Amino acid sequence: MITAAAFLLPTLPGCSPAASVYKTSVSPEKFISVPELLFLKSGDVQIIRPEGWIYDIALQKKDDGKFFALLLRCTHMDNQLSQDSGGYICHLHGSRFNTNGEVIKGPAERNLESLPAAPDGKGNIQINVKNI
């Protein structure tokens, strides 16, 4: 029954899976450029996969139109995070973070590292990764 639900739910309106991962590279100036058209509405989260990196970045458009980027590295033991309902989860020990990067469940104690992100006026969002 559970398995059948997993296959049928995506066919319902509004239950379609999240957008695929956006793969890109880091510029020599240590910026990651992401097309703004990937974000259709507030609340949309786009997973960014920089070339050669071990960790993904979650880029989210907030209600006020600003952008918010989180490094998907668990603050407990540096494991890669996956998207989960309501945020991100680490499968190593079960730490969970909400979409703002705040710890929901331990053993992690520190919130996710946020990265500066803003539109550049040319249709792209620039994520600053100089401090990574």
- Say how far apart CA 58 and CA 21 lie, in whole Å: 10
Site for another protein in 26-45 (CB under 8 A): none
- Of 1-9, 37-45, 61-69, 119-127, the window that binds another protein (rule: CB under 8 A) is 1-9
Out of 31, 36, 53, 119, the only residue in the binding site for another protein (CB under 8 A) is 53
- Say how far apart CA 108 and CA 124 lie, in whole Å: 33
The verdict on 102 binding another protein (CB under 8 A) reads: yes
Minimum CB separation of residue 24 from another protein in Å reads 12
The verdict on 11 binding another protein (CB under 8 A) reads: no
Residue 5's alpha-carbon distances to 1, 8, 14, 86, 113, in angstroms, are 6, 5, 15, 20, 35
Contact in structure between 129 and 115 (CB atoms under 8 Å): yes
Site for another protein in 64-83 (CB under 8 A): 76-78, 80, 82-83
